[in-house]
Each structure stands twice: as structure tokens, then as C-alpha cells.
């Protein structure tokens, strides 16, 4: 049984605007499948174009928020998880609040007066997705909100804290505060490489927080970019996972574990100078709806067992189970109850 508020997430709450598109659409907006980027001016007309499609869906998203919601769903203990991020005072923001509440997550949103709630264009072709995030209000999160007693109480209560790498572009100072708190209080701090652009263009911010990270998640593409910007000259994911796990640690940290997913290929776990691989649950192509949220769901499933002190093997199994459920549905959504055992 998970205790109340045992797991805290902080990140960018975004409303996913998801639709099936074609290659011409990807070319028109200069976007690639299986990538995640921040919107530039050239992408802005895309949101209206997606919204006008007959198959469009609006789904509460944002990487960390997805992971927290999935962990909450797997745990089935109301209020076991909590979440912070910034939304706007608008219809989408209200949706987000309702969604978190329905999911059983204790959400303390910072509400920005001026900016609209952030959105993420999810462009699906053949079940694969391309993400383009327009952060808007999500980009306005301030550490002042985190420091308020009623919000810092969520940090105090949590024993495990997870933040996706995407938040590095928004509030590195909030991440630092939480990372240092975790180190000083013997709590587990977990992060995600999140996207190639984070590893490439936010390397300094990533570098600063990595010594505090006990568990680092990522996928094979992100891991290879992480290695490339550091001149490691290897494409071998097992080697890279090992090297990431062995990067320097902050004072008082015992070790780091790297967990790298590879789509349909086995999950790589590097710990104590050893690499283990775990097979995923293979899904026939005709059952694949879209991969949006698969990596987030993997982390959510993993965390749901991790906060109950289960073995790494059980955590990975739960991660694979959750990802398998999510890719058979649109966006990061799930049935009423999990059937994981």
C-alpha cells in the first residue's frame, strides 16, 4: 500500500491536441516522427489545422503529468501521488484540474494570469508520433510557487520525486531546490533525458542536476545524442547506459541507475557497473493505436512498483505493462483498473 503523497512530480502540464495526419503534413511543418520539439513561429498555424481535423482528440498530457497519472492509476490509492506545474486561467486549465482530480492526483497548479494553458500537437502517422509543444503558461512556472508552505509541504511529504528533462527549459532553479532537498533528506530523485533537444541544447542545465539524480530514464535516441554531445563515440546503448550510470554523483549519493527503453527492443538497466536487459511485451502492429505517452507510461508503471520497494525487475515489468496498455489507446489514457500482477 502506498502512503499519501509518497510520489511527487513537477513538470509542464500540456493539453495534447492529437490527430492522425499524413507525411505531407509532417513535411509542411518540417517535423519528424518520434521526435519532440518546442514550437517555433512556423509551427503555430499547425494547432488550428489539427483542431479542424475530424479525428482530433484533446487529452491531458505533459510528460511528467502523464507518468504521475499512470503511477496513480497503477497504485489505485487516492492521493498517493502529487504534481506541480503551471496552467492558464482558461477552459483548458479547468479541464486539466478536472482531469487530475478524476485521476486521483493531488495537483497544486500555479495559475498564470496572462498566458494560456500550454498545448502539445501530437501528429500521428502509422501509429508513430511527433510532438510539438507550445508551452505558453507551462513556461511561466516560478520557484516562488514551489516555496509557498502549502506547496513545499508536497515536497516534504514525498519520498520519491520525479521530474522530466523538459522542465529544465522552464525552471532549473525549482529542480535544483528539490534535488538538493532529496539529497539532504535521503530521498530518491529521478529524472528523464526526455528529448534529443534537451540533451543537445540544455546540456549545461542537465549537467548541473545530474549529480543529484539517483535514477535516470530515457530512450535509445536520447541516449545516443547524450553520448554524442559528450564525444563518447559509441552508438551502443548498453555501453552508454553504463557510462551515464557512472557519471559523478553529488555528496551523499550512493549510486545512479540508468534505465533506457528501446521501443520494441529490450529495456536496458545499468547498475553497479553491470548491464541487464529485460524484454518488452510485443504488440502486433494492428493493435498499435499510437506511441504517444509510451515512454511516460513506462516510467509511471516503473514508479508505481518502485515506491512500494519492489525489485528492479518488477519495476521494469510494470513499466512494460503500462506502456503496452497506453500504445493500444489514443494518447496517455487507460482503462478504469489495471490488471497487472
Q: Which residue has the higher pLDDT, 193 or 127?
A: 193
Distance CA(247)–CA(116), nearest Å, equals 39
Q: In the block, which residue shows the cell 530512450?
A: 219
Each residue's pLDDT tens digit, 71-130:
999 999 999 999 999 999 999 999 899 999 999 999 999 999 999 999 999 999 999 999
CA distance 199 to 201: 6
Sign of the C-alpha dihedral computed for residues 15, 66, 254 and 258 taken in this order: negative
Residue 95 CB-density burial (10 A; 0-12 exposed, 13-18 middle, 19+ buried) = middle
Letter string b/e over residues 66-82, b meaning 16 or more CB atoms within 10 A of that residue's CB: bbbbbbbbbbebeebbb
Report how far residue 225's alpha carbon sits from residue 213's, in angstroms, rounded to the nearest whole number: 19
Buried b vs exposed e over 283-303: b needs ≥16 C-beta within 10 Å? eeeeeebbbbbbbbbbbbbbb
CA distances from 190 to 61, 67, 161 (A): 19, 12, 6
Contacts (Cβ under 8 Å, ≥6 apart) of 98:
none
- Return the C-alpha cell found at 154: 508536497
Residue for grid cell 547524450: 226
Q: What is the pLDDT of residue 208?
A: 97
Q: Which of 272, 296, 314, 339 is catalytic?
A: 296
Q: CA distances (Å), 9 to each of 35, 56, 158, 191, 322, in order?
A: 23, 28, 9, 10, 18
Contact 19, 57 (CB under 8 A): yes
> At 56, which helix (H) or strand (E)?
none
Across all residues in the chain, what is the average pLDDT?
Answer: 95
pLDDT at 333 over 90: no
**How high is the pLDDT of residue 290?**
83
Q: Which CATH class is domain 7-13+61-117+136-327?
A: alpha beta
Instruction: Please write the tens of the pLDDT for every residue from 14-39.
Output: 999 999 999 999 999 999 999 999 99
Residue 335: per-residue pLDDT: 85
Angle between helices 220-229 and 237-245 (to 10 degrees): 70
pLDDT > 80? residue 1: no
Lowest pLDDT segment from 64-68, 177-181, 246-250, 252-256: 252-256
16 annotated active-site:
no
**pLDDT of 165 above 80:** yes
Q: Which residue has the cell 532549473?
A: 172
Report the distance separating Cα 321 and Cα 29, nearest Å.
34
Helix, strand, coil fractions of the chain, as percent rounded to 5: 45, 25, 35
C-alpha cell at 313: 525487475
Q: Which residues contact 144 (CB under 8 A, 6 or more apart)?
A: none
- Inform me whether the pLDDT recorded for 42 exceeds 80: yes
DSSP result, 249-281: --TT----EEEEEETTEEEEEEETTEEEEE---
Which pLDDT score, from 0 to 100, does residue 291 have? 85
Residue 203: pLDDT band (50, 70, 90) is very high
- Is residue 235 helix, strand or coil? coil
User: pLDDT per residue over 299-325, tens digit each?
Assistant: 999 999 999 999 999 999 999 999 999
Query: What pLDDT sits at residue 228?
Result: 98
Report pTM: 0.94
Q: How far is Cα 273 from Cα 246, in angstroms, rounded to an integer?
A: 8
The confidence score (pLDDT) of residue 341 equals 80
Contacts of 161 (CB under 8 A, 6+ apart): 7, 8, 9, 10, 155, 178, 182, 187, 188, 189, 190
Domain spans of the chain? Answer: 7-13+61-117+136-327
Amino acid at each position: 500500500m502506498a502512503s499519501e503523497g509518497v510520489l511527487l512530480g513537477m513538470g509542464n502540464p500540456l493539453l495534447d491536441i492529437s490527430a492522425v495526419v499524413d507525411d505531407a503534413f509532417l513535411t509542411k511543418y518540417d517535423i519528424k516522427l518520434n521526435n519532440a520539439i518546442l514550437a517555433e513561429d512556423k509551427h503555430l498555424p499547425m494547432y488550428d489545422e489539427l483542431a479542424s481535423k475530424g479525428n482530433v482528440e484533446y487529452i491531458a498530457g505533459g510528460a511528467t503529468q502523464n507518468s504521475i497519472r499512470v503511477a496513480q492509476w497503477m497504485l489505485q490509492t487516492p492521493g498517493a501521488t502529487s504534481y506541480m506545474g503551471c496552467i492558464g486561467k482558461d477552459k483548458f486549465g479547468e479541464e486539466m484540474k478536472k482531469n487530475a482530480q478524476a485521476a486521483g492526483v493531488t495537483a497544486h497548479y500555479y495559475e498564470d494570469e496572462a498566458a494560456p494553458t500550454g498545448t502539445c500537437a501530437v501528429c500521428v502517422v502509422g501509429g508513430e508520433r511527433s510532438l510539438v509543444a507550445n508551452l505558453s503558461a507551462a513556461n511561466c512556472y516560478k520557484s516562488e510557487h514551489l516555496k509557498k508552505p502549502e506547496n513545499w509541504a508536497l515536497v516534504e511529504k514525498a519520498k520519491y520525486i520525479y521530474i522530466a528533462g523538459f522542465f529544465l527549459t522552464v525552471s532549473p532553479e525549482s529542480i535544483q531546490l528539490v534535488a538538493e532537498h532529496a539529497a539532504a533528506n535521503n530521498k530518491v530523485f529521478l529524472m528523464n533525458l526526455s528529448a534529443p533537444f534537451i540533451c543537445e541544447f540544455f546540456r549545461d542545465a542537465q549537467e548541473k542536476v545530474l549529480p543529484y539524480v539517483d535514477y535516470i530514464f530515457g530512450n535509445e535516441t536520447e541516449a545516443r545524442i547524450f553520448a554524442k554531445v559528450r564525444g563518447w563515440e559509441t552508438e551502443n546503448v548498453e555501453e552508454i547506459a553504463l557510462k551515464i550510470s557512472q557519471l559523478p554523483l553529488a555528496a551523499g549519493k550512493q549510486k545512479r541507475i540508468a534505465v533506457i527503453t528501446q521501443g520494441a527492443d529490450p529495456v536496458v538497466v545499468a547498475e553497479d557497473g553491470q548491464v541487464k536487459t529485460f524484454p518488452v511485451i510485443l504488440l502486433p502492429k494492428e493493435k498499435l493505436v499510437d506511441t504517444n505517452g509510451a515512454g511516460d507510461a513506462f516510467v509511471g508503471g516503473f514508479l508505481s512498483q518502485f515506491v512500494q520497494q519492489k525489485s528492479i525487475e518488477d519495476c521494469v515489468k510494470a513499466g512494460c505493462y503500462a506502456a503496452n496498455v497506453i500504445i493500444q489507446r489514443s494518447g496517455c489514457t487507460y482503462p478504469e483498473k489495471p490488471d497487472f500482477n
